[in-house]
Chains A and B, each alone.
Chain A
């Protein structure tokens, strides 16, 4: 399942309208409208800049306890390939970078060797059922609508601190490869709450 479609490999999509905002400025230049860059840029500029960083755009994580995945679009505007080699969060005892493999009809998550490679001037999607950052041993429950602090560590030595949105999400239920902890990643309790 593809959650977020990139505009192109060089134009990663931002939270909601950043992609459109970028396209907007291009289009306005292109058709020579007099109604050009006006006050509405106070919002669009921020997102354009954001998408031009080595970062995670549109980052979010599933509201749950125990463990959760972080998703979004890793972006690399630079001329060199960069690898996301690790991540951390104040509330997670352990963080791993996971890939999802389908074997024998089952979807399994496992730690990826070598991290997530983000091509030069490109992006990499992290999404449920695919690559993601796994936060484990959470010291508290994550609630929908809060913002979670995470830090990304890249192969060029840079770190990026950012906030990701915590969202109620029914998917992102994955089995772990055998030998891992007990990862019952099933529906969390708020689903029970909502179904009563």
Chain B
């Protein structure tokens, strides 16, 4: 069923030809509402459209409570996959799969063809071709599906195409990795503002993938609900810290050099590191606010560095207090993290499994061995926050480049 609202969504989809971020997303929302009026006013000139839509239940939403943003879409196609620099949504599910032994290059070609069709349909608010619950596909709510390839998947195509960094990360001394949340051959990161939409997309994609691969692990993450915070706000983690400040800005040269690969089959792609970081909240509860702020090097109220007043103030690592000590202590998280030149693009989310809360630390970079690893090595050696956090899961995937309309996920890998 095509309602007026989904048609308007289609117009939104049309504007950015790629899924490159647009700060205009909120502006698009405004213009979408403008289009509502425009479409209604112009109804006589679109007779076919008007008559086609008049009999649909969707028309009722115009008279009743309007949909606020359930119909908003983020295009799946473009130079980069969606879900990396597109606006973060309230919910995300990371699903890792293990390829079955018989899933060879030929089978992967079929899998990528299916995933491409399913992802393009789901993210545009349309049911995939074999969707047995098509009504559940009608609320995209900024659904994106980002696909990552593990080392084994690339090996099945051609081991020579596997970058050196596409492997389990080197062990860090404080890691307590269990068996449940590590590695994988295929990653689907399904992201939406609506958990119903997300559940349906995950189920639909599982049905498409299960001939080729078996589920390995699943991690659900969340941020504030859509509309709870101004769009673009840095999120807070479950320790109450503003988490993700000082990130490279998409669209800048620094971002491109930090995140996007530019040669070979991965040109336009990137690398994702996903670390499951358990928060030791029982002991964190014993720590009073001043020490919490010292441990991070930022205040808790707005996330400002201890040497500044606003979140985005540059930390002054040279500043001394009256006794001559560093204002941002030697053991502070942000000092340790930023002692080198390495940059990564962070996009973490919270998790809450009932008995356990923590952070799904997610970062994107060209080369985890040269970017994430040195940073984590410094934190592993010294970071007061280590008292209250434990890394319990670790995975690295290559994020394939995007594909243009008519193209296919993974086409550059298969053609290499």
| Residues of A that sit less than 8 Å from B by CB | 1-5, 7-8, 11, 15-17, 19-21, 23-24, 26-33, 35, 38-40, 42-43, 58, 60, 63, 143-146, 165, 167-171, 190, 193-194
Instruction: Report which of A17, A32, A190 forms a contact with B124, defined as CB distance below 8 A.
Output: A17
Q: Could you say which of B38, B45, B52 contacts A8, with CB atoms under 8 Å apart?
A: B52
Interface of B (DSSP majority class): helix
With beta carbons under 8 angstroms apart, the residue of A26, A42, A58, A170 that contacts B207 is A170
Q: How far is the CA of A68 from the CA of B38 in the complex (A)?
A: 47
Chain A residues, Cβ within 8 Å of B109? 145
| Pairwise interchain contact A145-B110, C-beta atoms closer than 8 A | yes
Min CB gap A71→B, angstroms: 9
From A11, A19, A23, A169, B130 is in contact (CB under 8 Å) with: A169
Closest 8 CB pairs of A and B: A145-B110, A30-B46, A43-B405, A31-B38, A16-B121, A30-B42, A194-B210, A23-B7
Residues on B facing A (Cβ under 8 Å): 1-2, 6-8, 10-11, 14-15, 17, 35, 38-39, 41-43, 45-46, 48-49, 52, 100, 107, 109-114, 117, 120-121, 124-132, 134, 207-208, 210-212, 214, 405-406
Minimum Cβ distance to chain B for residue A183 (Å): 21
- Determine whether the beta carbon of A190 is less than 8 Å from that of B127: no
Let me know if B129 and A60 touch, CB within 8 A.
yes
> Are A27 and B7 touching (Cβ within 8 A)?
yes
Contact A20 B126 (CB under 8 A): yes
CB distance from B189 to the nearest CB of A (A): 21
The answer to whether A17 and B126 touch (CB under 8 A), given A31-B35, A39-B17, A167-B114, is yes
- Whether B48 lies near A15 (C-beta < 8 A) is no
Cβ contacts under 8 Å, A20 to chain B = 2, 6-7, 10, 124-126
Report if A144-B114 is in contact (Cβ < 8 Å); known contacts: A17-B121, A35-B14: yes
Q: Known pairs A27-B46, A42-B406. 8 more at Cβ < 8 A?
A: A4-B134, A17-B121, A17-B124, A29-B45, A32-B38, A33-B11, A33-B38, A190-B211
Q: How far is the CB of B208 from chain A (nearest CB, A)?
A: 7
| Selected contact of B10 from candidates A24, A31, A167, CB within 8 Å | A24
A42 to B14: give the CA distance in the assembly, Å. 12
Q: How far is the CB of B214 from chain A (nearest CB, A)?
A: 7
Closest residue of A by beta carbon distance from B49: A26
Instruction: Report whether B134 and A3 are in contact in the complex, using a CB–CB cutoff of 8 Å.
Output: yes
Point out the residues of chain B lying under 8 angstroms from A27, CB to CB.
7-8, 10-11, 39, 46, 49
Give the distance in Å from the alpha carbon of A11 to the alpha carbon of B51 in the complex. Answer: 12
> What residues of B have a CB within 8 angstroms of the CB of A35 in the complex?
11, 14-15
Query: Measured between alpha carbons, how far is A190 from B107 in the docked complex, in Å?
Result: 13
Q: Is B46's CB under 8 angstroms from A29's CB?
A: yes
Chain B positions within 8 Å of A2 at CB level = 134
